[in-house]
């Protein structure tokens, strides 16, 4: 069964965080399976073999076959742990009888185990890095945002950097910072973490389960739990966090480079040691005319609204609802398909505010 390398890595990290001796067992599997394949000889004639795929071989004399694999005791791990790996699709049953079950491990899983455990080898499965690294966004990604050309360029440079660079956008409401995060989250298909709602385990578990290469955090200044600050600081600084398991500690590391792009209203509530890890950019509120242009761009380009109707909606939101949030324009555009309907919806909203 095919499974992407990133999914394998996520499953391995989840198992490590759940089971106390998982790291020890995975290390034994990582060591034992390649040794087994290296020393394997043809069942028919005991000659050396070449591997056709992960479990199929062809020997020097032309015999072909499939290996039987190893039992759990031959790996040096308990049977229950092999069953956990099997249930997660990380090992495969190659032979089974009433008295024994033999398993095989695909090379891609061995590479993922090495990546998770931080084991170095001469060739380290470059597909792991290539598959998980996001591609740089196009220049026109922020076309809906009016102005801020220098900020847009800086964000693109951060995303293209080979090594970790973290960006914090500071600004009041209606300064486009949340819109920037939403555009990035949509492009990379990653969630926006709302800092003020993160639980103590939530931020740590999110990193353990996803090992994100891009973390997008809104309302960073609303983090109240010092543990969240500590987890984020450690991840940004060393690209790893500590997972405590009963009697010992294990490290979860990032397979490549993780970058954090965050937004906040205020800078004074963010600890200085965390703030120092960011490039900080401060935005000013948009003017009324800039808000109008942003709303028109979003309505006509994203929502497919005719320009005349889009202007009516933008004007109503800015002047009657006293809002500078483009999302209010989108909501009304989805409710009203004519000027008359726009007026009715806005009238209700003004009356019931």
* 10-residue averages of pLDDT along the chain (353 residues): 74 86 88 91 90 91 91 92 94 89 92 73 34 61 80 88 88 81 86 69 68 84 75 74 47 64 88 88 83 86 87 89 84 90 89 79
Supply angle C-alpha 109, 112, 116, rounded to 5: 140
Residues 150 and 89 in one domain: no
Reading the block at residue 87, the tokens are 């249930």
Residue 136 is predicted with a pLDDT of 66
**Interhelix angle for 22-39 vs 5-18, to 10°?**
130
- Residue 239 CA, distance from chain mean position: 13
Contacts of 134 (CB under 8 A, 6+ apart): 159, 188, 213, 214
Residue 125 is predicted with a pLDDT of 35
Residues 166 and 271 in one domain: yes
How many helices, marked H, and strands, marked E, lie in the chain? 15, 12
Residues 190 and 296 in one domain: no
pLDDT tens-digit readout, 185-237: 888 888 888 876 655 456 777 776 767 778 899 988 887 767 677 778 877 87
Residues 49 and 89 in one domain: yes
Longest dimension (CA), the chain: 88
Length of the chain: 353
Distance CA 138, CA 135 (A): 9
Structure-token match 């308990």, residue found? 78
Q: Which residues form the domain of 52? A: 5-131
Return the closest-CA partner of residue 265 out of 142, 333, 140, 174: 174
Domain boundary among 265, 282, 299: 282
Residue 70 is predicted with a pLDDT of 94
Residues 236 and 158 in one domain: yes
Residues 235 and 338 in one domain: no
For residue 93, the tally of other CB atoms under 10 A from its CB is 13
Alpha helices in the chain (DSSP H): 5-18, 22-39, 72-75, 79-87, 107-117, 126-132, 149-160, 177-188, 200-210, 226-238, 272-275, 288-297, 307-319, 326-335, 339-351
Distance CA 104, CA 65 (A): 14
Domain boundary among 230, 260, 282: 282
Distance CA 289, CA 77 (A): 67
Domain boundary among 239, 258, 282: 282
Residues 203 and 225 in one domain: yes
Residues 278 and 160 in one domain: yes
Structure-token match 């509120």, residue found? 285
Return the closest-CA partner of residue 214 out of 180, 177, 166, 178: 166
- Residue 126 CA, distance from chain mean position: 18
Write the CATH number for 147: 3.40.50.300
Pairing between β-strand 56-59 and β-strand 49-51 as defined by DSSP bridges: antiparallel
Distance CA 256, CA 163 (A): 9
pLDDT tens-digit readout, 246-267: 444 444 555 556 789 999 988 8
Residues 243 and 171 in one domain: yes
Residues 152 and 269 in one domain: yes
Residues 239 and 292 in one domain: no
Residue 292 is predicted with a pLDDT of 86
Residues 159 and 278 in one domain: yes
Residue 249 is predicted with a pLDDT of 45
Number of domains in the chain: 3
Residue 88 is predicted with a pLDDT of 92
Whole-number Cα distances in Å, 14 to 1, 21, 39, 210, 227: 20, 13, 32, 9, 20
């Amino acid at each position: 069964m095919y499974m992407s390398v990133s999914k394998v890595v996520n499953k391995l990290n989840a198992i490590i965080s759940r089971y106390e001796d998982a790291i020890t067992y995975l290390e034994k599997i990582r060591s034992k399976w390649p040794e087994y394949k290296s020393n394997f000889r043809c069942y028919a004639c005991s000659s050396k073999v070449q591997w056709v795929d992960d479990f199929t071989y062809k020997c020097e004399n032309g015999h072909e076959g499939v290996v039987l694999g190893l039992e759990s005791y031959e790996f040096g791990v308990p049977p229950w742990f092999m069953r956990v790996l099997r249930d997660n699709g990380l090992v495969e049953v190659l032979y089974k009888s009433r008295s024994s079950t033999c398993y095989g491990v695909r090379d891609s899983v061995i590479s993922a185990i090495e990546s998770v455990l931080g084991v170095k080898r001469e060739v380290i499965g470059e597909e792991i890095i290539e598959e998980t690294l996001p591609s740089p966004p196009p220049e026109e990604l922020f076309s809906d945002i009016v102005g801020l050309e220098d900020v847009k360029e800086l964000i693109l440079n951060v995303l293209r950097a080979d090594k970790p660079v973290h960006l914090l956008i500071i600004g009041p409401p209606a300064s486009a910072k949340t819109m920037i995060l939403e555009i990035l989250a949509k492009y990379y298909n990653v969630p926006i973490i709302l800092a003020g709602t993160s639980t103590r385990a939530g931020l740590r578990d999110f990193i353990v389960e996803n090992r994100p290469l891009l973390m997008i955090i809104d309302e960073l200044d609303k983090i109240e739990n010092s543990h969240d600050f500590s987890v984020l600081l450690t991840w940004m600084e060393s690209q790893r966090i500590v997972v405590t398991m009963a009697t010992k500690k294990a490290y979860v590391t990032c397979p490549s480079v993780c970058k954090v792009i965050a937004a906040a209203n205020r800078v004074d509530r963010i600890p200085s040691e965390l703030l120092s890890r960011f490039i900080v950019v401060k935005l000013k509120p948009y003017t009324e005319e800039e808000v109008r242009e942003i709303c028109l761009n979003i309505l006509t380009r994203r929502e497919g609204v005719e320009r005349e109707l889009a202007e009516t909606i933008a004007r109503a939101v800015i002047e009657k609802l006293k809002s500078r949030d483009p999302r209010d324009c989108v909501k009304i555009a989805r409710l009203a398909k004519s000027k008359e309907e726009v007026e009715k919806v806005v009238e209700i909203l003004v009356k019931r505010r």
